[in-house]
Homo-oligomer: A and B are copies of this chain.
């Protein structure tokens, strides 16, 4: 079987650090082109213009959109019009409303639309979901605290409207929580802290409940220096489940039962290859919906400027 030929669009940190090696290591997919206003990738054809790339290389089967989310809709529309599959880095779009038409266009074009949530492919997630499926859950706590200066150096777009601020990492936590808990959750209250000189929040405290009333508390903070924390704790009748290191490690009652590697992006492209084989789509908007709900329902506070 021939490989699916992929073009990466938006050659930034996430494309170089994750997408390029993940595609290189995954059977069934092959990187053939890159499109970026100001960056190139060694070893593949590089373009500065998306339309020009599609004209020059009709053999491209799929585009993987790694640009900031506000730029993606036009690319996705053009890609489906040209009969390509579309992979969306998280968050899938700048707004919820633009996704549903894309799902319909993908179906009409008989192509795959894959809204990826990389954290859901972390090694602890599937076993955690299975362990919780028959548990009586009492509460869950999400602690997602990292140093924005370390992880997003120079990425000004995360502070601009649509950049989501601390929800850019926080949405990874929400993608895990919504994958492992057996019932849907909804927001009850939220407090958002906006630096006085920025358009997106640097910290958020979120109180969710599931349909049975089980509380799920989340704390996101981008001001964490020193040790970084990406944990999900679930207290249930059968024990205490803990996901740490962003989904790589799973422990039950203090005993490590999964100690994974950084397998998230290979998982994305493995799943994509399966979807594209049958032109199926996989679009779960739940994590972005919860973020939009937090912006809509959240109480805003202005905090120290971020410089």
Question: Does A97 make an interface contact (CB < 8 A)?
Answer: yes
Cβ of A204 to closest chain B Cβ, rounded Å: 13
> What are 7 A-B contacts with C-beta separation under 8 Å?
A97-B290, A98-B186, A100-B184, A161-B189, A162-B297, A199-B299, A292-B295
Contact residue range for chain A?
20 to 34
Among B94, B184, B199, B300, point to the contact of A97 (Cβ < 8 A).
Answer: B184
Per-residue CB contact flags for chain A residues 285-307 toward chain B (1 = under 8 Å, else 0) read 01001111101111110000000
CB-CB contacts below 8 Å: A171-203 with B: 184-187, 189-190, 194, 199
Q: Is B194 a contact of A292 with CB atoms below 8 Å?
A: no
**Copy count, this protein chain:** 2
Cβ of A137 to closest chain B Cβ, rounded Å: 16
Q: Is B292 a contact of A96 with CB atoms below 8 Å?
A: yes
Query: Given the complex, which residues of B lie within 8 Å of A73, measured CB to CB?
Result: 186
Residues of A within 8 A of B (CB): 73, 77, 94-98, 100-101, 161-162, 164, 184-187, 189-190, 194, 199, 211, 286, 289-293, 295-300
Interface-central residue, A187, A190, A194, by most chain B CB under 10 Å: A187
Residue on B with the closest CB to A191?
A: B161
Q: Given A73-B186, A77-B211, A187-B95, verify A161-B293 contact (CB < 8 Å).
A: no
Query: Given the complex, which residues of B lie within 8 Å of A164, measured CB to CB?
Result: 296
Q: For the complex, what is the distance from the CA of A211 to the CA of B103, rounded to whole Å?
A: 13
Query: Given the complex, which residues of B lie within 8 Å of A100, measured CB to CB?
Result: 184
Among B95, B185, B291, point to the contact of A186 (Cβ < 8 A).
Answer: B95
Q: Is A101 a contact of B161 with CB atoms below 8 Å?
A: no
Q: Given A194-B300, A300-B194, verify A97-B293 contact (CB < 8 Å).
A: yes
